[in-house]
Structure 1
Amino acid sequence: MCNNAMKKYTIFVSLLAIVPLCFVSKAYGQLSPGFYDITCPIVQAIVRSTVINAINQEPRMAASLLRLHFLDCFVQGCDASLLLDSSGSIISEKGSNANKNSARGFDVIDRIKHQVERICPGVVSCADILALAARDSTLIAGGPSWTVDLGRRDSLKSSLSGSNDNIPGPNTTFETILSKFTSQGLTMVDLVALSGAHTIGKARCTSFRQRLYNQNGGGKPDATIDPSYGLMLRGQCPPSGGDQNLFNLDPATPDQFDNIYYKNLVLSRGLLNSDQILFTNQASRKLVEQYAGNKRLFFDQFVISMVKMGNLFPLTGADGEIRESCRSVNAPLVSLETVLT
């Protein structure tokens, strides 16, 4: 057999060896906790160890990784579209109003993906890594744990408009925020419980300045802000400038995942308008009071709502792909016909 023919035959046989794996992949049409038990049993250990190291270096990273999962799922389902960089026909969601100068933790996801690809190449999706990192971040910060359903695949596209339209803003009304949740199949209970993620993390001055100076006109602070808390905020968030100054979403226990966030709302110490309106609105106030008085009740509902959110419109089976890099779609495969020509 001549050299060229031998080379084509070798490539052909190599490609055939991949085919059975493709059929195995397509057989998994639904999410399940044991999706990687055979193909990559070490994946959860890799995610957890990397997340632990990242949070040890910077406690704020727990909130950042948890938020990435939320920002991804609310656009076109939990498909890692958020992680795509702009290239070719793709316009990244990272530049949306909700994400620009705010979403962070992408480097941690990159580190996890790099380690997983070394051991289990082409097996674990970036979408599943996001879901696992969110769970582990919550647990490491002192919150509850839960079983993560796995088997999501990664999107081949992003949606900048979807990110701009679907992610609730810090100064939007209760009705608008609730409508964005219900459009995803989530309820008011989910809204109040998932907002409890703000028990950790930080927000920029530009996210809440409106409440401090001009929401009610005349430069006066919002009446729903505790006066002493508002005075402290005004001292570090001036009427102009200091846009990137950071403030703890929970001034009492900023790095601890607990129910103090809800206690703050009862005391009119919610940082963002989107936080405080959960207490000022009559429809959601009772839930805030219940979670403020019972941490276990909050934890239990948070788990239910996170699982529900994490299962929003996942790509499974033959849809999407398993990206080699979370930042870009895979290069097109060369067909057998092309190889053998």
Structure 2
Amino acid sequence: MASNLVVLVFLVLIIALSAFLKADGKLSPKHYSCECPKASSIVEAEVRAAIQREKRIGASLLRLHFHDCFVNGCDASVLLDDDIAGSFVGEKTAGPNNNSLRGFNVVDDIKAKLEKACPGVVSCADILALAARDSVVYLGGPSWKVGLGRRDSLTANITAANTFIPSPTSNLTALVSSFAVQGLSFKDMVALSGSHTIGRARCTSFSTRIYNESSIDSSFAKALQRKCPLSGINDNEVAPLDIRTSTHFDIQYYKNLLNKKGLLHSDQELYNGTSADSRVKKYAADTTRFFKDFARAMVKMGKIKPLTGSKGEIRINCRKPN
């Protein structure tokens, strides 16, 4: 009888400790192990299927996580739609996001599968974090343990989206400042910029660079000018951020910078006679080093001001508060 009582007390203490850790706001890769043990595998399967349909979507899902975390933290505010009445304005129409961010339907599909498996358990913010990691892995990049337990915001902040997301025209000083505001170091900034080894950008993001800058390979600039004429008639056309392997996560992005073939002004700023030059050279020569630093920086970015415990909510529909 006494032994049964000891076991019972022990179990109560374990449950209490688990509840305390959740309330205390600690992110953990095992956060859903009891309530939704298949959460990670469901996300991974949906991400794989989406990328198999369209390789570019992997970069889009990674970018969603970036643009979410840089605005009031990793809270899925970027997924919220404006409401029809106009009383709620989301972040999707902010300058860095409008007609640019993609992958919202993939997030919807993942959420629908999770709601069927374990209703009201997995947050949209955690979906973004997992989908970013799974996209990188599927496209040949590194893996990392994703801390889970984020909750979803009830609000969005279009002003912050217009302010804190780095611009493609940023110089190195502005880039360093943008990342520092989020608690990310110079090293983090250079490593995370390597996410541009996958994906595409619109002509509007680099048209000034290809017509006005000297720190660009002339043949590279001319090829882009044919795609993006000065008249602006093709402003919404897209070009690969990495001209060689835009659907494979590798170090080619840094190699391109060494040859003045960075697509965006902000890319080439990392290798333009600046303090970032030496680190770009290291990454261009060492895949293992880049992958290690990128993974660490992604873990760090994923911890930017998450809502945990009783803050926020678990949205049933990622596009609107409950």
Please say whether Structure 1 and Structure 2 have the same fold, judged by a TM-score greater than 0.5.
yes
Give 1:29 shift.
Answer: 2.5
- Hey, what's the Cα distance between the residues in 2 that align with 1:86 and 1:35? 31
Alignment of 1:224 with 2:215, yes or no, is yes
Instruction: Give the Cα separation in 2 of the matches to 1:189 and 1:90.
Output: 37
TM-score w.r.t. the length of structure 2 is: 0.92
How many residues are matched? 302
Q: CA deviation at 1:281?
A: 4.3
**In the alignment, is the contact (CA less than 8 A) between 2:70 and 2:164 conserved in 1?**
yes
For residue 29 of structure 1, what is the aligned residue in structure 2?
A: 25
Instruction: Name the counterpart of 2:139.
Output: 141
Which residue does 1:122 correspond to in 2? 120
> Counterpart amino acid of 1:282?
T
| Counterpart mapping for 1:244-283 below 5 A | 244-283=236-275
Q: Which has the larger radius of gyration?
A: 1
For residues 269-297 of structure 1, the C-alpha deviation after alignment (integer angstroms, 9 at most, x for no partner) is 00000100000142111110000000110
Q: 1:101 aligns with which of 89, 99, 121?
A: 99
Kindly provide the amino acid, as one letter, of the partner of residue 117 in structure 2. Answer: I
SS at structure 2 position matched to 1:93:
coil
Return closer, same or farther for 1:281/1:85 CA change in 2, 3 Å cut-off: farther
Please tell me the residue identity of whatever aligns with 1:236: K
1:142 aligned partner, one-letter code = G
2:234 to 231, 235, 242: 242
Check the 8 A contact 1:209/1:239 in 2, yes or no. Answer: yes
Paired residue for 1:165?
Answer: 163
CA distance in 2, matches of 1:285, 1:211: 19
Cα-to-partner distance string for 1:141-180 (whole Å, 9 max, x where unaligned): 0000111000000001000000000001101221111111
Partner letter of residue 100 of structure 1? N
8 A Cα contact 2:35 2:118, kept in partner: yes
1:233 alignment partner, one of 224, 231, 235? 224
Unpaired stretches in structure 1, ≥5 consecutive residues? 1-19, 216-221, 331-341
**Match for 1:57: what amino acid?**
R
Report the 3-state secondary structure (helix = DSSP H, G, I; strand = E; otherwise coil) of the residue aligned with 2:70: helix
**Conserved in 2, the CA contact under 8 Å of 1:28 and 1:151?**
no
Deviation of residue 182 (structure 1)? 0.3
Note the alpha carbon deviations across 1:76-100, whole angstroms, 9 max, x for none: 0000000001126421100000000
1:57, distance to aligned residue in structure 2 (A): 0.6
Alignment check: 8 A CA contact 1:168 1:177 kept? yes
Q: Which amino acid aligns with 1:184?
A: Q
Give yes or no for the alignment of 1:182 onto 2:174. Answer: no
1:290 alignment partner, SS class: helix
User: What's the counterpart of residue 310 of structure 1?
Assistant: 302
Match in the other structure for 2:319: 327
Contact in 1 for aligned 2:81/2:320 (Cα 8 Å):
yes
For the 8 Å contact 1:249–1:271, the answer to whether it is kept is yes
Q: What is the alpha-carbon root mean square deviation over aligned residues?
A: 1.4
Q: What amino acid does structure 2 have at the position aligned with 1:239?
A: L
Distance in 2 (alpha carbons) for counterparts of 1:33 and 1:306? 14
C-alpha contact (below 8 Å) 1:84/1:327 kept by paired residues:
yes
CA distance in 2, matches of 1:130, 1:161: 21
Match in the other structure for 2:6: none
Q: Does the CA contact (< 8 Å) of 1:278 and 1:284 recur in 2?
A: yes
Identical-pair percentage: 52
Determine the C-alpha separation between the residues in 1 that align with 2:210 and 2:22.
53
Q: TM-score, normalised by structure 1?
A: 0.87
Letter in 2 for 1:226: D
Q: Is the 8 A contact 1:79 1:155 kept in 2?
A: yes
The match for 1:284 among 276, 279, 291 is 276
Structure-1 separation of matches of 2:185 and 2:159: 23
Report what 1:57 is aligned to.
53
Of 55, 58, 73, the match for 2:69? 73
Determine the structure 1 residue equivalent to 2:292.
300
